[in-house]
């Protein structure tokens, strides 16, 4: 009968070891979740800030005649022919069907 109770004792003795292991795993898991959350937040910030780029979203304030002239020049520099270039690339892609 005494021999039969031994395994029960062993189990109760091994519990604290497992508990520590569980705590360690929980802490590691929390660290991992925290890291992933921060990383995803950074990625999200990157996509919202950088993806729409191509042209500036804000234009510098016009303070005098010089900056008015610059605004006029910037308008001229907007290359509308890029649309034609992209359209001819589209034609090339669709030439075989």
Partner 1 sequence: MNKLVTSFLLTLAFLLTAAKVSLAYTPIATRANELRTQSCESRQEVIKNRMANLLRMSTNMVEVFDNIKQRVQEYYQNKVLTNGKTLPSYENLVQMTQTKKDSVQTALDTAASDSEQFSCASDDPKEALTTFRKDMQSVKTALKDYRTSIKNLIVAIRTVKLTTPTPSGVE
Q: Which residues bind partner 1 (CB under 8 A)?
A: 52, 54-65, 67-69, 71-72, 74-76, 78, 80, 82-84, 86-87, 89-91, 93-94, 96-97
Q: Which is nearer to partner 1, 25 or 87 (CB)?
A: 87
**Radius of gyration of the CA atoms of the chain, in A:** 33
Q: Tell me how far, at minimum, the Cβ of 79 lies from partner 1, in Å.
A: 9
Q: Tell me how far, at minimum, the Cβ of 90 lies from partner 1, in Å.
A: 5
Q: Which is nearer to partner 1, 45 or 72 (CB)?
A: 72
> With the C-alpha atoms ordered 39, 40, 43, 44, is the resulting torsion angle positive or negative?
negative
Is the CB of residue 71 less than 8 Å from the CB of residue 62? yes
Q: Which is nearer to partner 1, 35 or 59 (CB)?
A: 59
Full DSSP string of 22-55 = HHHHHHHHHHHHHHHHHHHHHHHHHHHHHTT-SS
């Amino acid at each position: 009968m005494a021999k039969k109770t031994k395994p029960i004792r062993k189990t109760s003795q091994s519990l604290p070891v497992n508990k520590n292991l569980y705590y360690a795993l929980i802490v590691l898991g929390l660290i991992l979740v925290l890291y992933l959350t921060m990383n995803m937040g950074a990625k999200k910030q990157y996509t919202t800030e950088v993806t729409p780029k191509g042209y500036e979203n804000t234009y510098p304030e016009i303070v005098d005649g010089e900056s008015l002239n610059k605004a006029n020049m910037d308008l001229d520099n907007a290359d509308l022919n890029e649309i034609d270039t992209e359209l001819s690339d589209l034609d090339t892609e669709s030439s075989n069907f």
